Structure 1
Amino acid sequence: MFSYIDNYYTATMRAAPVRPPLTGQVSVDVCIVGGGLAGLSTAWELVSRGKSVVLLEAARVAWGASGRNGGFVLQGWSEGLSAIEQRCGKDTAAALFKLSLEGVDSVRETITGHQLPGCAPSRGKLSVSRFDNADSLKRFSERMDRDFGFTLDYLDRATLRTLLNTERYHQGLRDTHGFHFHPLNYCLGLAELIEQKGGVIHEQCAMLEVASRAGRSQVSTAHGSVDCADVVYCCGGYGGPEFGKLHRAFLPIATYVVLTEPLGARLQQAVRTSEAVGDSRRASDYYRIVDGDRLLWGGHITTHNLQDEQRLAQLLTADILDVYPQLQGLKIDKAWSGLMGYARHKMPHIGPIGPGLWSCASFGGHGMNTAPAGGRVIAEAICGESDRYRLFDRYGLQWNGGPFGPPAAQLVYTGLKMMDRFQERHAGAGPR
């Protein structure tokens, strides 16, 4: 039996009912497999359109990465806009960027429109450079405004130092459209909204097999089955072989988060903003203040899931002190990990993968806006409203490399870290 792992979010989560597994046979319009943010968002979009929905979750609602992440809800995708533009063209890149903004807005509007408790949204995110990069950041800001109609405020070093008291950062860009929040409480609130609309959620209820019969799908579980017209896979990094070719198209990548002890007035010596922060490295540090005087800090990527809390605390404490040495002596209260689904092309798998079979998965660590956007696109397609899923036509189920995929991905990550260090050392970042 799965239970929520101990972390900051579970320690501050709203009450969540235990939902029983499926027993017997039911018939609905759509069966959704996976109860993270992608599955919940897809279910919400469908029940809001009048579809009958059953959602199957192998553990608990938002048990995986959806309830353990940094809590950043920001524009964009895991893949950069320039790479998207090169692959898909300017018009598709612009449409995908607009869709990413729609995902941010949908989360914000759901929180405010339904007064979801415990989500604690806080506006703004700073993207900071660990080397002198003023001209490039200004050009990027100008391009985002010119080509995508999106405003990013440039912050010079003096301004940035009033917000983040560290020698590590040189300049930054401020995104006032995005926000950060309590992702687990959002997912739990969304689950309740789905049930209020007539949707049914079963926990501790893994999908075992999907079979096609007479133009409909039969989804089997240990003690029941769902007869439906459409099935949507929303499996994330925890999906297994039962997801077939989708499972062969993403890698489970682990990332790590810690929560410091209450730091009191000491924190103001380092971080003087309520905005979230992420640095310019290819495998960046990301953090924000929670509870007024704690740092929730994430970083590191591995293809094997480290679960030694003491080791995680040591690793990320070293990262914190590298940026803010004035916090020497801080203690870590909680440390945890989570698996995200990551495609080789760094874009999610959104669209049809067979007759009556859909995918809304593989968000690559950028899912808090893109999963809700993907859920809306899939719901529109099932309901015959749009074919916006075609925006992802250039990003199919690319093979993940099988047994060679994880070591290859780890090698790439190691190379990226070396590139980051070289860039910082040779661009005025000072000695490490």
Structure 2
Amino acid sequence: MANTPYPQSYYAASANAVPPRPVLQGEVETDVCVIGAGYTGLSSALFLLENGFRVTVLEAAKVGFGASGRNGGQIVNSYSRDIDVIERSVGPQQAQLLGQMAFEGGRIIRERVAKYQIQCDLKDGGVFAALNSKHMGHLESQKRLWERYGHTQLELLDERRIREVVACDNYVGGLLDMSGGHIHPLNLALGEAAAVESLGGTIYEQSAAVRIERGANPVVHTAEGKVRAKFIIVAGNAYLGNLVPELAAKSMPCGTQVITTAPLGDEVAKTLLPQDYCVEDCNYLLDYYRLTSDKRLIFGGGVVYGARDPANIEAIIRPKMLKAFPQLKNVKIDYAWTGNFLLTLSRLPQVGRLGDNIYYSQGCSGHGVTYTHLAGKVLAEALRGQAERFDAFAGLPHYPFPGGQMLRTPFAALGAWYYGLRDKFGM
């Protein structure tokens, strides 16, 4: 029997202890079968259980094995393409609904942490850092846009103020969002899984879905068992494979890389990020970083299209870290890992239904920590017959990548090269 462990990441090394979970063997019956125990699947399961559904979750590896347990751990509001882009591409009613939901995911995370007493090192405060005047103009517009949708926990930072929150000389200013923040992402997923089980839900690990038998009473098959359900929620995202071929056609797995330093000590850590906020810059191919609870620096960036694992992650990311913090040139890197996220051509999430009883959400495009928690709530609402918010997402237009699956990776890489040049020259 295959047993897929967590990657050798800082998160796996510092994860809270959890009990072993069973492999699905034999046949079970449930109201909803959720495929994937990442944030989308766990959030869906929690909302459904809280509303009286019986829920069974199938996970191919371990809870939070994919992007949910490997990401930068940053709570960032809105979507990978902001509300102004949505306003230009859909009608005003749909845009208004999506705009109202853009700040809900972070609230859901905080509610879950409080309600279920999840130990995940939650800290408030996130900074968008501007590297040039064009970035700063964008942040000024973003502040006005977000405030138009009622989001007011924002402060523009001039060059003096941003020096007070991050010890990096590269920035001309920034935007502080106090409803942003950061968490230990794997411990958040593990805490949500424990909450699912506390409400009577069942999670099977090492139980990959290998086939979906569609119909009025769908069945999900694994290597050693099957789940009969009234509804299915497909929440595998970048780790779904070709289980649902029509979902693979309009999305592409991509890899991002993360490193973690050795512990820096309280004094050094406080000089880097005195208020313990997380930071991401405004480049198209952005860098992001934050401190851990034991005063390490987590630094991530870069995109590998097609989700290949680079041979030397530290060689890719360490120069980026030293560009921001040259004072760390002698600091050892203790962990380096990669993880996949799912990219869509529009950079907006894909939400929908196949037939009458198979629901899905995928394609967060690198902006998934908050969106996935919202998605779980929206999917649960739809299964309860309240589909207005689900329909607002389902109505977003999506297109296949040029050249199909064969050429999507080189085309996307070419586009990234172009935007990388724009980042380099401040265009």
> What is the CA–CA distance in structure 2 between the aligned matches of 1:247 and 1:253, rounded to whole Å?
13
CA shift at 1:132, angstroms?
Answer: 2.4
Is the CA contact 2:84–2:145 (under 8 Å) kept in the aligned structure 1?
Answer: no
Of stretches 387-396 and 232-241 in structure 1, the one that deviates more from structure 2 is: 387-396
> What is the CA–CA distance in structure 2 between the aligned matches of 1:306 and 1:332, rounded to whole Å?
22
Q: 1:402 to 1:17 in 2, by over 3 A?
A: same
Per the alignment, residue 236 of structure 1 pairs with 237
> What is the CA–CA distance in structure 2 between the aligned matches of 1:396 and 1:195, rounded to whole Å?
36
Is the CA contact 1:9–1:184 (under 8 Å) kept in the aligned structure 2?
Answer: yes
- 1:356 matched to 2:357: yes
Residues 37-67 of structure 1: per-residue CA shift (max 9 Å, x gap): 1111111111111111111111111111100
Residues 53-103 of structure 1: per-residue CA shift (max 9 Å, x gap): 111111111111100111112210111222111011344233213213221
CA shift at 1:267, angstroms?
Answer: 3.8
Is the CA contact 1:94–1:148 (under 8 Å) kept in the aligned structure 2?
Answer: no
Residues 260-280 of structure 1: per-residue CA shift (max 9 Å, x gap): 112233344433230000001
SS at match of 1:127: strand
Mapping 1:23-172, distance limit 5 Å: 23-117=25-119, 119-133=120-134, 134-172=136-174
> What is the CA–CA distance in structure 1 between the aligned matches of 2:70 and 2:294, rounded to whole Å?
19
Is the CA contact 1:277–1:286 (under 8 Å) kept in the aligned structure 2?
Answer: yes
Per the alignment, residue 313 of structure 1 pairs with 314
Is the CA contact 1:306–1:312 (under 8 Å) kept in the aligned structure 2?
Answer: no
Is the CA contact 1:32–1:39 (under 8 Å) kept in the aligned structure 2?
Answer: yes
CA shift at 1:392, angstroms?
Answer: 1.5
Per the alignment, residue 201 of structure 1 pairs with 203
Extract unaligned runs of 5+ from structure 2.
Answer: none
Residues 140-194 of structure 1: per-residue CA shift (max 9 Å, x gap): 3233323544342111001111222222100100101122101111111111111
SS at match of 1:175: strand
Residues 186-230 of structure 1: per-residue CA shift (max 9 Å, x gap): 1111111111211111111111111134x1101111111111111
Per the alignment, residue 246 of structure 1 pairs with 247
Name the count of aligned residue pairs.
421
RMSD of aligned alpha carbons: 1.7
**What percent identity do the matched residue pairs reach?**
31
- 1:416 matched to 2:412: no
Q: 1:20 to 1:373 in 2, by over 3 A?
A: same
> What is the CA–CA distance in structure 2 between the aligned matches of 1:24 and 1:32, rounded to whole Å?
17
Q: Which amino acid aligns with 2:126?
A: K
> What is the CA–CA distance in structure 2 between the aligned matches of 1:136 and 1:232, rounded to whole Å?
37
> What is the CA–CA distance in structure 1 between the aligned matches of 2:24 and 2:137, rounded to whole Å?
57
Per the alignment, residue 6 of structure 1 pairs with 8
Per the alignment, residue 263 of structure 2 pairs with 262
Per the alignment, residue 379 of structure 1 pairs with 380
Of stretches 389-398 and 15-24 in structure 1, the one that deviates more from structure 2 is: 389-398
Task: Give me the TM-score of the superposition, normalised by structure 1.
Answer: 0.93
Residues 343-382 of structure 1: per-residue CA shift (max 9 Å, x gap): 1111112221222111122211111111111111111111
> What is the CA–CA distance in structure 2 between the aligned matches of 1:136 and 1:206, rounded to whole Å?
43
Residues 103-144 of structure 1: per-residue CA shift (max 9 Å, x gap): 111110110112112x11000101010112444433432333
Per the alignment, residue 289 of structure 1 pairs with 291
Of stretches 85-94 and 194-203 in structure 1, the one that deviates more from structure 2 is: 85-94
Q: 1:135 to 1:397 in 2, by over 3 A?
A: closer
> What is the CA–CA distance in structure 1 between the aligned matches of 2:137 and 2:374, rounded to whole Å?
33
> What is the CA–CA distance in structure 2 between the aligned matches of 1:164 and 1:196, rounded to whole Å?
40
- 1:22 matched to 2:5: no
Q: 1:390 to 1:330 in 2, by over 3 A?
A: same
SS at match of 2:200: coil
Q: Which amino acid aligns with 1:74?
A: V
SS at match of 2:254: strand
Task: Give me the TM-score of the superposition, normalised by structure 2.
Answer: 0.94
